[in-house]
Structure 1
Amino acid sequence: MIFIHLEPEPTMELPTDAVEIPLLHSSSPRTTSTLQALGNIIVSVVGTGILGLPYAFRIAGWGAGSFGVALAGVATYYCMLLLVKCREKLTSQGRSKESRTFGDLGYICMGSKGRYLTEFLIFFAQCGGSVAYLVFIGQNLSSVFQGHGLAMSYYIFLIAVVEVVLSWIPSLAALAPFSIFADICNAIAMGIVVKEDIQKAIAGGISFDKRTAITSNMRGLPFAGGMAVFCFEGFGMTLALESSMKDKAAFPKVLAQAFVGITTVYVLFGFSGYMAYGDETRDIITLNLPNTWSTKAIQVGLCVGLVFTFPMMLHPINEIVEDKLKQSSWFEKIQDSNNVFSGKQLKVATYISRAIIVLGLAMLASFVPGFGLFASLVGSTVCALISFVLPAIFHLRLMGSSLSFGQKVLDSFILISGLLFAVYGTYNSLVGI
């Protein structure tokens, strides 16, 4: 889950100085302690995707699912370090101010096309995450109020109206606490799921004989892989997290500690959820929980938290769209005709563009058949390209001459594997949808 605090600024990318993760806030964004950095990494990486992991284990099997999550965790950790090494290289050359963001690295490595490609992928990754949020909210609210007979799309558009208003808030600082609230609800939901799993195990309701270790359906493996990649979100925060640390040399160790813990929790949670519900495991595990007031409260709490964090997911999208609008010919014509484009006109144009974006994402979400399938599609496409392909390309281009043969082979393997995974994973997810 990405938490963003930005002052209005006509930039294309999220500057690291403007990024603030509000779980463990320090007085200075560049003096984060080791413990604070560890908390920030966890908050940035862990999101709602974890609640879809038991379903991924059901599709791939508990053995293949565990291996896939572990592999995704190791690969993501390694590629995050590649980005850090790229910036360290540029910093040693006195180019630290040129390499603050993911887009900056794209420009340095591949020119304007590299920046456009990077920002294009980031844009669609944020769009995909936003749609996944709406689908998650819609499915949970539909489950809570199932007696009313309303379709999931009804709840999505109902929430979209609220999101349009929230997207007009000029500063997102006031919404940051709701991000933490959503994570707390995530943690409580995980606790309830684990409690249910333990109760089933004690009652003798779990049998390895009735659970698949490795699926015979080859489409199940890339599906689970896409879900696993989606779960390790927050990759775009790598440079901001590293630059915020007081002791930057400790970042690899802190990142490793965070990823070991997160990956272990992911594996155990996916395994226990699938073991508890078997073939009845839903694409969002909270939908499997007993129909009690506590379960409904958790589902509503999750939805409320995501409603208020949704504008933070939208902010990079709005920033890119509004910057492009200001560069368009019709905008320049208005400026020429009026000499000065008034603040009121600019505000109205901003409100309209943000409303269109929210309603467009809601329209797309209303056609998504389920959270699991869509999350796997997003993970297999833009997330895989951002997390694996781009870091490998940047590392090879920036440090190719100084890399050992083995390092070049490893980077090339990650690059090719990431591309193949993106192509086949996309095809597989689209077929499933």
Structure 2
Amino acid sequence: MAAEAKLPLLEGGRGATPAQTLGNIVVSIVGTGVLGLPYAFRTAGWLAGGLGVAAAGAATFYCMLLLLECRDKLREQETEEEGEQGHQHHRCNYTYGDLGEKCFGPIGRYFTEATIILSQTGGSVAYLVFIGQNVSSVFTSGGQLSPATVVLALLLPVQATLSFIRSLSSLAPFSILADACTVLAVATVVKEDLQLLVEGGRAPFAGRSAFAGLWGVPFAFGFAVFCFEGFCMTLALEASMSNRSKFRSVLLQAIAGVTAVYLCFGVCGYLAYGDATKDIITLNLPNNWSTAAVKVALCIALALTFPIMMHPIHEIVEARLFAPGGWLRKHCRGGGGGVERAVLHASRVAVLVALSAIACFVPAFGSFASFVGSTVCATLSFVLPALFHLRVVGAAASPCQRAVDWGFLLFGLVFAAHGLSTVVLRH
């Protein structure tokens, strides 16, 4: 999942064009979650799953607009205060954490940043689970390579080595490679889906459930929310544009396009495999050299771009470790730069070990992604934007808009509670 850090694609002194911004939005949203959508449609039914994905896309777009409106209102208030004081200060671009602090003080910032970290952690663990299950499926004939073995024996050493790279710009080519491999994997899956549907010689929707039960609807919605990554990049993406007035229309185009792709991909995958659809659709592909090559290429690319996912986590952990005036900061200054670098690398390896251990105990990619989407991502995408909007805009908003904000706030809280209770009751 994307984070509230500066994307490599956003770096540079010149503003982005609408076309570049459109590409940046798509890159920040689309991730490995798309390959689990057919399983969500199998769980909910093709009609219920489609409605869940469409609703998640529309709700995400609306709440992104709430963040922008909060930022605009705060800037307006800041301008008025500066006018009264007779001078003008330089105004920085607000981050998600800045909005939390403006609305609720330091506690608001801590809670917002903690939610972002939990979201990034969930996405990082999902990446590890995804890679582990796909790599182990390629070597299933050997029977000895389990997903946990892949994570601990193969991924952990590679990620520990890559964690020494601290420049996001150096990792940017890997991110682009991962996106290209995701497109290749999606195209391969769609090709196999269409071949199965044509060779089956039956009506596409025959034997496929439109509504698979009440529990499947929140599952599909939670998974869809997980698939709309990059929510906390909204303000940074808007700030990167040379003409910010066009951002809302570009954002609408991106969300609408991604939602349409998600709908088609999820429906096609479920119609092709039915109840045999697995939580990662690439595991349904035939076991031949071409699909094995696609799986391996996708996993290598994701492993190489994994440090970008980890960057905001490392950034916040290191900021806390080396806080001004802290014991560790004083100790490192006394020991020279070598001690500080050693502590930094040790902290990064420790975080990687912890996440790898968690990934080994995650039973299934689909269930875990839905849980993260329905709890942490729902809080980040629906609860906080509605809460900030009520706090910042408040009385200036119309009664109808306040009612919608309260609706999103309550819905997000209930949905997160449902996702958490589902996991607790099942275990």
- TM-score, normalized by the shorter chain, greater than 0.5: yes
* 1:276-291 → structure 2 map (5 Å cutoff): 276-291=272-287
Measured against aligned partners, the alpha-carbon deviations of 1:39-75 in whole angstroms (never above 9, x if no partner) come to 1111110111000000000000000000000000000
Change (3 A) 1:122 1:334: closer
Q: 2:34 aligns with which of 50, 57, 67?
A: 50
Q: Name 1:154's counterpart in structure 2.
A: 149
**Partners of 1:86 and 1:177 in 2: CA distance:** 34
Q: Name 1:412's counterpart in structure 2.
A: 406
Q: 2:240 aligns with which of 214, 239, 244?
A: 244
**Partners of 1:91 and 1:261 in 2: CA distance:** 31
Change (3 A) 1:333 1:244: closer
**Partners of 1:52 and 1:121 in 2: CA distance:** 23
Measured against aligned partners, the alpha-carbon deviations of 1:105-163 in whole angstroms (never above 9, x if no partner) come to 00000111100100110111111111000000000000111122221100011201110
Shift of 1:428: 2.1
Letter in 1 for 2:74: L
Shift of 1:94: 3.3
Q: Name 1:335's counterpart in structure 2.
A: 330
Gaps of 5+ in 1: 5-12
Q: 1:28 aligns with which of 4, 9, 13?
A: 13
Q: 1:106 aligns with which of 100, 103, 106?
A: 100
Q: Name 2:209's counterpart in structure 1.
A: 212
- 8 Å Cα contact 1:206-1:275 kept in structure 2: no
**Partners of 1:120 and 1:339 in 2: CA distance:** 28
- 8 Å Cα contact 1:47-1:233 kept in structure 2: yes
Q: Name 2:56's counterpart in structure 1.
A: 72
Q: 1:318 aligns with which of 307, 311, 314?
A: 314
Q: Name 1:197's counterpart in structure 2.
A: 193
**Partners of 1:66 and 1:341 in 2: CA distance:** 58
Q: Name 1:346's counterpart in structure 2.
A: 340
**Partners of 1:270 and 1:339 in 2: CA distance:** 54
* 1:12-27 → structure 2 map (5 Å cutoff): 14=5, 19-22=6-9
Deviates more, 1:87-96 or 1:296-305: 87-96
**Partners of 2:29 and 2:43 in 1: CA distance:** 23
Shift of 1:429: 4.0
Letter in 2 for 1:249: S
**Partners of 2:56 and 2:65 in 1: CA distance:** 14
3-state DSSP of counterpart to 1:210: coil
Q: Does 1:379 align with 2:373?
A: yes
3-state DSSP of counterpart to 1:282: coil
Letter in 1 for 2:361: F
C-alpha RMSD of matched pairs (Å): 1.9
3-state DSSP of counterpart to 1:340: helix
- 8 Å Cα contact 1:52-1:284 kept in structure 2: yes
3-state DSSP of counterpart to 1:212: coil
**Partners of 1:430 and 1:280 in 2: CA distance:** 27
Shift of 1:333: 6.5
Change (3 A) 1:71 1:32: same
Shift of 1:21: 4.2
Letter in 2 for 1:356: A
- 8 Å Cα contact 2:8-2:168 kept in structure 1: no
Shift of 1:28: 2.6
- 8 Å Cα contact 1:102-1:118 kept in structure 2: yes
3-state DSSP of counterpart to 1:94: helix
* 1:123-202 → structure 2 map (5 Å cutoff): 123-149=117-143, 150-157=145-152, 158-202=154-198
Change (3 A) 1:431 1:265: farther
3-state DSSP of counterpart to 1:393: helix
Shift of 1:430: 4.6
**Partners of 2:344 and 2:63 in 1: CA distance:** 36
Shift of 1:97: 3.3
Change (3 A) 1:265 1:431: farther
Change (3 A) 1:377 1:384: same
- 8 Å Cα contact 2:321-2:329 kept in structure 1: no
Gaps of 5+ in 2: 80-89
Letter in 2 for 1:242: E
Q: Does 1:269 align with 2:265?
A: yes
3-state DSSP of counterpart to 1:411: helix
**Partners of 1:391 and 1:341 in 2: CA distance:** 44
Q: Name 1:399's counterpart in structure 2.
A: 393
Letter in 2 for 1:47: G
TM-score normalised by length of structure 2: 0.93
**Partners of 1:284 and 1:40 in 2: CA distance:** 25
Q: Runs (4+) of structure 1 moved beyond 6 Å?
A: none
Q: Does 1:116 align with 2:110?
A: yes
Measured against aligned partners, the alpha-carbon deviations of 1:216-253 in whole angstroms (never above 9, x if no partner) come to 2x222211111000000000100000011111111111
**Partners of 1:345 and 1:339 in 2: CA distance:** 8
Shift of 1:431: 4.4
- 8 Å Cα contact 2:93-2:239 kept in structure 1: no
Letter in 2 for 1:153: A
Change (3 A) 1:348 1:205: farther
Change (3 A) 1:62 1:384: same
**Partners of 2:25 and 2:301 in 1: CA distance:** 19
Letter in 2 for 1:165: T
Shift of 1:170: 2.2
Aligned length in residues: 414
